[in-house]
Chains A and B, each alone.
Chain A
Amino acid sequence: MSVITVERKVLEKNDEIARRNRELFALQGTFVINVVSSPGSGKTSVLEQTLQNLKGQLNIAVVEGDVQTDLDAQRIAKFDVPVVQIVTNGGCHLEAKLVNDALQNLSLNNVQLLIIENVGNLVCPSNYDLGEAMKVVVASTTEGDDKPLKYPAMFRNAAVLIINKIDLVPYVNCDLEMLRSNALKINPSLKVFEISCTSRQGIAEWSDWLKQQSLNHSHEIAK
């Protein structure tokens, strides 16, 4: 009997393609966020509100990931921004290769901010680097305040937490302070925004921060 010592990361191939994506984004000066959450937390609504606020201030493009349909891409296209839909046909997450393929149909020329909306799933997307600058996790109040403890990897790997549907707090069993503190137990450096896509509370603060991040990024690259 003989043994081959390997010590190889299972997802090294994905990581390598993600590295190439990252190089491409850097070359174009594009700031890229990977938006993740469970299904129904309001990722697409957050995108719509963000686009409404930032349109005309920043050149934005969107990649939509879904298991089926291009319904989300249709919603985003109304804002007159370049959008590409990736349909995973059952796949529960986006991989770097899928994003790379999507970029064949999306010019990043002059694009300052690329928003990738991942498939709604709090487990699988956390393992797959797409080449983004940061993951943004959306958690809504209707999901309860214990999600960060139940799905720690997603909250650990994100840089930003958007707590959505805060207008529903009076009606649901969710303690905002508890949700925030559970998330910070997993990832003390999380930047947290509390928003509502219905009342638009907190949207300006989030969009302004995102805009500033994108502009800082372009300046860094230009140096």
Chain B
Amino acid sequence: MSSDAAAIEASGLRKSYGKVVALDGVDLHAPAGTVLGLLGPNGAGKTTAVRILATLLRADSGSARVAGLDVAADAAALRAKIGLAGQYAAVDENLSGAENLEMVGRLYHLPRGEPSTRAAELLERFGLSDAADRLVRTYSGGMRRRLDLAAALVARPPVLFLDEPTTGLDPRSRIDLWETIEDRVSQGTTVLLTTQYLDEADRLADRIAVIDHGRLLAEGSSDELKDRFGGERLDLTLEDRDQAEAATAALAPLATEPPSVLPSGALCFPVARRQGTIAAAVRRLDEAGIGIDDVAMHRPTLDDVFLSLTGRAASEAENGADAPPEEDGGA
């Protein structure tokens, strides 16, 4: 792939904190105007990757370019082109929402007058106009996150880093935030998003990089990952459950492995391909005289992908989500 069109391009990123290896040679690639989702459990190295790309941390080795600039050599110039919203709502509690955004605008050195008009504009768009002059310490968690994201957008940066933007948010606020991110991307912004939520990656990311223990396990679009690592399944409910063995024998040529039995009593056959499988299965079962109550292809979910890549169910990996979102051995 040509690196000219890439807004984010990293290769061989390594970083360790003492003996803890946070990143162990990670390559990332995001064309301009797309969302790259960095998916992995707590401590996988997601935050370290973002911190390196956002010029906050130097990699031990490897190189990265963001918006055409080297993250180490051109860090100062790069900072004018990126926006960062972290796991914490990094806003000043003792300033109002408007004052926070104006301060950020001044620190981006926007032209005189621009910080306050820009602040008003963003507060309006994020539904915070009514709270514009209230101190942030009176804001709810969702409002703080929205303000935090607004702060990252003050200078209309072409590249946006969002480190677990919705961790700890209620469902309504998550969806609001997703819509805002989608809106930015439709305007041409490139986004690197880290998340431990599969549905978030599935919905927002054009491409997903799954990382664990500082290594890139797989990279591709959501569909590609599902095809490659999830595997198609045929779910079959029989009229008569006692015919399970006969059905297994009849479908053996189609299935890649013996079926498992789902809690509903349905049989679940891993199959090699999607196309034509249902027709073939129905024909074979019909020929064998086996009655079918229900038959369906089951699209794998990112959950299946995650499980097969990390050996852990995503829900298990998410258990840490209630704890403080500390990562990378808390260096």
Q: Do A and B interact?
A: no
